Amino acid sequence: MNLNDEKGTDPTVEAIVEMFPEDFLRNTARESGLVIRERKIDPVILFWVLTLGFGVRFLSTIRGLKRKY
């Protein structure tokens, strides 16, 4: 795995983060009605947990999602 020497992150991860910037995710969550006001659940964290957790590790239960979040 090639890591970026400056930040120590995988270039693939950097590319994915650039595709879905935090401001875009927050605005989309607000516009779609997912978030009316931010309190306990951060829409950005929820997005990444669902995307990476189910997409890569195939969490199959809500209990697994809860442990991951």
Whether the pTM exceeds 0.75: the reply is no
Residue given tokens 């442990």 in the structure block: 67
> What does the pLDDT read at residue 59?
47
Q: Which residues contact 52 (CB under 8 A, 6 or more apart)?
A: none
Better-predicted residue by pLDDT, 48 or 69:
48
Q: Does the structure show a pLDDT above 70 at 34?
A: yes
Is the pLDDT at 2 greater than 80, yes or no? no
Decide if pLDDT at 63 tops 50. Answer: yes
Tell me how far CA of residue 52 lies from CA of 7, 33, 44, 47, 57, in angstroms: 20, 22, 12, 8, 7
Give 21 or 57, the one with higher predicted confidence.
21
Q: What is the mean pLDDT of residues 32-53?
A: 82
